[in-house]
Structure 1
Amino acid sequence: MVLEDSKTTQLRQQPNIIFILTDDQDLHLNSLEYMPFVDQHLTKHGTSFKRHFCTTALCCPSRVTIFSGKLSHNTNVTNVVPPYGGYPKFVSQGLNDKYLPVWLQNHGYNTYYTGKLFNAHSVQNYHSPYAAGWTSSDFLLDPFTYSYMNSTYQRNQDPPVSYEGRHSVDVLAEKALGLLDEAVEAEKPFFLGIAPIGPHANIWAPGFKDGNHSDLTEVDFSPPVPAERHAKLFEGVKVPRTANFNPDKPSGASWIRKLPMQSQETVDYNDHYYRQRLRTLQSVDEMVDSIFSRLEDLKLLDNTYIIYTTDNGYHIGQHRMQPAKQCSFEEDINIPLIIRGPGVPESSETDIITTHTDLAPTILELVGAPLRDDFDGLSIPLTEESLAQAAETRHEHVTVEHWGFASNEGQVLDSYPRLHMNNTYKALRVISTEYDLHYQVWCNNERELHDLKTDPGQMVNLLHPDEVAPEMIAGAPFEKVVSRLDSLLFVLKSCKAEECICPWQALHPAGNVDSLREALSPRFDAFYEDKSRKVDFDRCEMGFILDAEGPQFEKDGLLPIFDPNWHEWT
């Protein structure tokens, strides 16, 4: 019989958590198919959540949502730079002592992190204040966060150190293994966050060096830079030529519908950009392999949950768009999530709806810590039995929101500007076996509706004057469905906590409606004709400014909008 040492025995008493967070990794452009170690260690030994969504398709707001369990309209961190986002905004909103690592430490866990935490976390402000909640950390810092061959890391409370000439992901891999060893030596259960920049664009922002985080016009984007050993892989590979890739017909609404078709020069450049992303992900894939090898050597794998996801998705050429994110199309919001650990079904897939608001509750539940009443999400089921139950009972909606600009991270070709302003919107997804809908209201009050059952590429905006709306959608009259979606989005645009999880119950406090299908019952027709509200912006803004966002569900006394005397609705 082999006796375990005391360190291993204690670490087996409570589960450890390793959280791997890539940057801008797509699901719909097939990036996971080029990562054999992720497939070997995670996909084949864990559960893939095929309907996992970010709620804001932009780095910093998304990461704050992950670590706070709250939608961006409740964190008020809505951009990547001040005044509406970035690390300074995270601090000013009082979140530095109200996020996941602090809660884990309060529950007796040691917490470790290396890589990118938030945007605008820089060589000027990393100590003003230090990021709270970390037992040990080694953060990437601006303005060098996205400089693959000139990164700067800052460990604990030491001064920043430059790693010029070394690939950032390779440096990160060494630091991650070092923190893992440090965690084991401490003989306490641990959380380890690992956040490589791959496959984000390579960026140089000279203004950031002087603390000028808001000067986005000076940012120099270029394709991600792979390690030299990967630089010639995947020759000839191209962006998947789906129906929505550089289409000959415009789609969507607002600025997207005005985009010209891309020239062959642009398409060729974007294929190169795509290959550079795949090549850069090879370092991430190797890092994943090294983490699993170390866990096996330490005999910790059986008692460790490994969560693999990304902050947001990515598009390259879809809907004629240049490389970037920040939209509510599937490429940008439907993203990888794979979880492996004790009791998690192996080599399994699920279509239950999960979002980034669910990750903090999930991790706290895994470690046995109390959940917070103000979470906008709920924990993700991780056993065969609970997953089967969730397939029948879990909510079907996703809240999506964005403020400010949309960027072009590729070359400025085809008269395509670096930034598109007025990319502020509220959107939702509603998904079941019967329907698959995407509904959005832009800040100029243009609207779009896509039926992904018949139009998976989201090429036909059924609410645009140039399109012919069907008589029926989702098994009901078209206008009837739109009115229900209007009311649902009206709740979600400013929801908090339970309202975000069960929005139909805010509309129907009797608790007799939990889905679009139930809301479409003819017995509610008069109710929605009388009470339906639409999202209407007063103006476009670069961040979350309440008086620009039109009527609010609670603010205007619209809760409840259910008349209890209409007993036939109950």
Structure 2
Amino acid sequence: MKRHRLFGPGAAALLLAACSAPASTGAPGETTPGAKTPNIVFVLTDDLATNLVPYMPHVKELQRDGTSFSDYFVTDSLCCPSRSSILTGKYPHSTGVFTNNGDDGGYGAYNRNGNERDCYGPALQKAGYRTGFMGKYLNGYLPADKHGTDKPYVPPGWDEWDVAGNGYPEFNFGLNENGKVVKYGHDPEDYLTDVVSKKATSFIDSSAAAKKPFVLELATFAPHGPSTPAPRDAEDFPGLKAPRTPAYDKPSEPAPKWQSGLGPLSADEQRSIDGKFAKRARSVQAVDDMIGRVRDELKAKGLADNTYIVFSSDNGFHMGEHRLRPGKQTPYDTDIRVPLVVAGPGVAAGKEISQPAANVDLSPTFQELAGVKPGGAADGASLAPLLHGEQVTDWRRAVLIEHHRPASKKDDPDAAPDSSGNPPSYEAVRTPNALWVEYADGEREYYDTERDPDEQHNRASSLSKTQQTVLHETLTDLQKCEGSEACAKAGQ
């Protein structure tokens, strides 16, 4: 079908011929010959928005030493669906994980749908990697559950497993340490992020002693609410306020129906937003410290030059933008665009990559960096060619966003009252210069993000029928795609 430019001659087209470099289709776990096998450390934060990076000096140092992706998006701005996509490289419609719990979400859906076998951990373990996972796994995973085994369950593919369930308060949690639940209290040394940090350096030490390559995911609960900082950071940033962007306390025009009834932020609400933002900034100081300690340990063991360090978040977080009370789950950039920073062998320092990337790309990227041929299950594509400076002329232009509004449940840490302005279910397409959203109730949103980066002017009604048809058909194709090659073609 012929593609139509949405803003006339000379303007950037929303949908260009899109074909991302397909992942290799060899058997999973096969390795390809090459240079010295690298290590990978992946730091994944929880609910960290881009506006917290300025308060993280070690992350800023990582940006100077490595490459950042300016257009990196998550497939759903909700914890469990996003994390499932990260682990497997698959869109929510492929993982079957759309919410944090219930029949279509949480660890239960992830496990029932067979996603654990498609996670990058088992693939790298099979290739000879020592694999470690620490911190937060998936919503609904309980450290003491045995899942039909004779001890607390450890998913296949992980040599070192130190994972909490309800670690959000950062104290008084249980940690599944390789099949044994260990209880932690409320002393300063029990602070969860610091516990993970110490275990991470120990894992690096033991891997170096064993002379084995390793992959280590450090998945923090911070800065997710209640955003408890380490005691040493509790007084940091006095008087800090949330950013007042052009979208702060200002709805888009015309706003969708789900935002109707949201009045201006009151003075009390704005004070609350500022207080929460300051707590979030304090809570990531321990995460930043952990990154510094890990990098120091890699240098001390002579591994720094052969280790990729990856930093990102499962989703962003809005705090007053679009007149929305604090939360996530929307298709706006506050929630779906998050940091992705990579430093390591062959990765340029201080570089920014503008090609659209997504969390479905991480699993195939880790596998290619490790010299492992992905098994073809991933919907995403490896970012390795972009990271290593290769000229990729046929990279994708469209990323799929899928969101099913979760039912309100007491045990969902992301549950929010209707008054907060949560959206209904939607599907969306994000390109370098536009956002198209189709809500389950029939409403549509379209933003020219090149001219309107704060997404304040909803131009859906101004699009021609032909333009809307192009967008709808592209979205439909992406919703049905399975596998890297099919998903690459879906945006064409």
1:190 aligns with 2:214: yes
1:25 aligns with 2:28: no
User: Where does residue 171 of structure 2 map in the other structure?
Assistant: 149
- Name the CA distance, whole Å, in 2 between partners of 1:298 and 1:44: 22
Assess, with a 3 A threshold, how the Cα gap between structure 1 residues 249 and 302 changes in structure 2: closer, same or farther.
closer
Match of 1:181 among 195, 205, 213: 205
Assess, with a 3 A threshold, how the Cα gap between structure 1 residues 340 and 385 changes in structure 2: closer, same or farther.
closer
Q: Residues 121-153 of structure 1: CA distance to partner in whole angstroms, max 9, x if unpaired? A: 114425554311101110012xx3212222321
- Name the CA distance, whole Å, in 2 between partners of 1:50 and 1:353: 8
1:442 aligns with 2:439: yes
User: Where does residue 429 of structure 1 map in the other structure?
Assistant: 430
Q: Residues 224-267 of structure 1: CA distance to partner in whole angstroms, max 9, x if unpaired? A: 11112212222222111111111176654131244222111001
User: SS at the partner of 2:460?
Assistant: coil
Match of 1:37 among 45, 48, 58: 58
- Name the CA distance, whole Å, in 2 between partners of 1:172 and 1:329: 32
Match of 1:491 among 463, 477, 480: 477
Contact between 2:135 and 2:164, CA under 8 Å: does it hold in 1? Answer: yes
User: Where does residue 14 of structure 2 map in the other structure?
Assistant: none
Structure 1 unmatched ranges of 5 or more: 1-11, 203-223, 470-476, 505-513, 515-570
Question: Aligned AA for 1:98?
Answer: D
Q: Residues 257-285 of structure 1: CA distance to partner in whole angstroms, max 9, x if unpaired? A: 44222111001100110011011111111
- Cα distance, 1:163 vs. partner? 3.2
Q: Residues 199-248 of structure 1: CA distance to partner in whole angstroms, max 9, x if unpaired? A: 1112xxxxxxxxxxxxxxxxxxxxx1111221222222211111111117
- Name the CA distance, whole Å, in 1 between partners of 2:413 and 2:121: 32
- Name the CA distance, whole Å, in 2 between partners of 1:446 and 1:338: 35
- Name the CA distance, whole Å, in 2 between partners of 1:81 and 1:386: 40
User: Where does residue 240 of structure 1 map in the other structure?
Assistant: 243
Which sits farther off after the overlay, 119-128 or 326-335? 119-128
Matches within 5 A, 1:131-530: 131-141=155-165, 144-165=166-187, 166-202=190-226, 224-247=227-250, 252-382=255-385, 386-387=389-390, 389-390=391-392, 392-405=393-406, 417=418, 423-431=424-432, 436-463=433-460, 469=462, 478-497=464-483, 498-504=485-491, 514=492
- Cα distance, 1:77 vs. partner? 1.1
Q: Which TM-score applies when normalising by structure 1?
A: 0.75
Q: Which TM-score applies when normalising by structure 2?
A: 0.86
User: SS at the partner of 1:338?
Assistant: strand
- Name the CA distance, whole Å, in 2 between partners of 1:274 and 1:345: 32
User: SS at the partner of 2:201?
Assistant: helix
Identical columns (%): 32
Question: Aligned AA for 1:481?
Answer: Q
- Name the CA distance, whole Å, in 2 between partners of 1:363 and 1:326: 27
Contact between 1:310 and 1:335, CA under 8 Å: does it hold in 2? Answer: yes
Assess, with a 3 A threshold, how the Cα gap between structure 1 residues 411 and 375 changes in structure 2: closer, same or farther.
closer
Contact between 1:251 and 1:319, CA under 8 Å: does it hold in 2? Answer: no
- Name the CA distance, whole Å, in 1 between partners of 2:191 and 2:43: 18
- Cα distance, 1:384 vs. partner? 6.8
Structure 2 unmatched ranges of 5 or more: 1-34
- Name the CA distance, whole Å, in 1 between partners of 2:488 and 2:387: 22
User: Where does residue 63 of structure 1 map in the other structure?
Assistant: 83
User: Where does residue 36 of structure 2 map in the other structure?
Assistant: 13
- Name the CA distance, whole Å, in 2 between partners of 1:101 and 1:158: 20
> Higher relative contact order by CA 8 Å / sep ≥ 6: 1 or 2?
2
Contact between 1:250 and 1:259, CA under 8 Å: does it hold in 2? Answer: no
Contact between 1:127 and 1:157, CA under 8 Å: does it hold in 2? Answer: no
Q: CA-atom RMSD, angstroms? A: 2.3
Matches within 5 A, 1:91-106: 91-106=111-126
- Cα distance, 1:182 vs. partner? 2.4
- Name the CA distance, whole Å, in 1 between partners of 2:270 and 2:478: 37
- Name the CA distance, whole Å, in 2 between partners of 1:65 and 1:410: 18
- Name the CA distance, whole Å, in 2 between partners of 1:175 and 1:429: 38
Contact between 1:406 and 1:419, CA under 8 Å: does it hold in 2? Answer: no
Assess, with a 3 A threshold, how the Cα gap between structure 1 residues 97 and 496 changes in structure 2: closer, same or farther.
closer
Contact between 1:57 and 1:327, CA under 8 Å: does it hold in 2? Answer: yes
- Cα distance, 1:14 vs. partner? 0.9
- Name the CA distance, whole Å, in 2 between partners of 1:440 and 1:252: 13
Runs of 4+ in 1 over 4 A off after TM superposition: 126-129, 248-251, 382-385, 406-412, 418-422
- Name the CA distance, whole Å, in 1 between partners of 2:415 and 2:88: 35
Question: Aligned AA for 2:458?
Answer: N
> Which protein has the larger Cα radius of gyration, Structure 1 or Structure 2?
1
- Cα distance, 1:486 vs. partner? 1.3
- Name the CA distance, whole Å, in 1 between partners of 2:144 and 2:171: 20
Assess, with a 3 A threshold, how the Cα gap between structure 1 residues 420 and 380 changes in structure 2: closer, same or farther.
same
- Name the CA distance, whole Å, in 1 between partners of 2:182 and 2:262: 42
Contact between 1:270 and 1:410, CA under 8 Å: does it hold in 2? Answer: no
- Name the CA distance, whole Å, in 2 between partners of 1:420 and 1:155: 39
Residues matched between the structures, number:
448
